[in-house]
Amino acid sequence: MNKVTIAPASDLKLSQIILGFWRLQPIIASELVSLIKFAIDLGLTSIDEADIYGGYKSQQYFGEALKKEPSLRSKIEIISKTGIVLSSSGLSKSGIGYYDTSEAHIMQSVEQTLTDLNTDYLDLLLIHRPDPLMNPETIDAAFQKLKKAGKVTNFGVSNFTASQFEMLQNNMETALITNQIEFSVLHTSPIYDGTLDNALMHQIKPMIWSPLAGGAIFTKENEQVHEVRKVMQQISGELGGIPLDQLALAWILKHPSNALPVIGTFKKERIQSAVDALKVELTAEQWFRILVASQGKPMP
């Protein structure tokens, strides 16, 4: 698997498939070390985290693996996120979940993330959700302090609309080098709402969460899923019987934004299958057949 430069404004290179730890549960450190080594051997070197994942525990489990095998750190790229306060957090005085993109919260969150991960720096930090109260100058000040201190080398956002991305980027000096968004054969709105157009305009590679629609492609039962699954099974047969998870990833990978899917599996065979999706080539007609099935109407 090739590593790709994520944006013109940065020399950061990420693997074309990213391993996401949002589902990471308590795990023996040696088992996680083995999984990470397996992924690295396949060329999958980028790992996606967030301060809130696992109820603020996921990064601790990951950190135990890095503590057990410190040499792994130089072989991987770590992405994390900040800006969400869970209702279960001690930071929430009223017991509600909310967003916080203040300088104090960003700095505190990154410090805790570095401690949890047993690392000195992050390769990429994202604002997890667009905060209605976010102040671009405040966020920029935090980003610049973190970069100057060598604690974070690159920055981006997650779940931002095109206009939210533009508002933030146009009012800060720090380059935003990605937008992590939801996109799949069952969630195609980024094609039409300007999000992917915005990524292409800025020449940034978007990261894609839930690229398999949270498993709904295989488990959910409704008209959209039935139609998409039927068409995907037909196309799978045309391509020699490839697994549907590979086909779903290949559909994302065909988009000219060169998106980077974030997969959430801890099964080695599923990781291998995801990497194999890079070899799948869809025709334009096959790609549109899936899109038409998903949206439930022909192209205008």
Question: Active-site residue numbers?
Answer: 53
Q: Which of 55, 57, 62, 104 is nearest to 83 (CA)?
A: 104
**Is residue 68 within 8 Å of residue 36, measured between CB atoms?**
no
Q: What is the CA 128 to chain-centroid distance, rounded? A: 10
Number of Cβ within 10 Å of residue 177's Cβ equals 23
CA distance 286 to 267: 28
3-class secondary structure, 288: helix
H or E segment and range at residue 178: strand 176-182
**Beta strands 124-127 and 77-82: pairing type?**
parallel
Sign of CA dihedral 34, 262, 267, 277: negative
Task: Give dist(CA 145, CA 155) in Å, integer.
Answer: 12
CA-wise closest residue to 162 among 143, 190, 139:
190
Contacts of 75 (CB under 8 A, 6+ apart): 40, 45
Do 165 and 135 form a contact (C-beta atoms < 8 A)? Answer: no
The torsion of the CA quartet 242, 245, 248, 250, rounded to 10 degrees, works out to -60
Q: Pick from 122, 97, 88: which is nearest to 107 by CA?
A: 122
Query: What region does 118 belong to: left with phi over 0, alpha with psi -120 to 50, or beta?
Result: left
Extract the tokens encoding 273.
């299958």
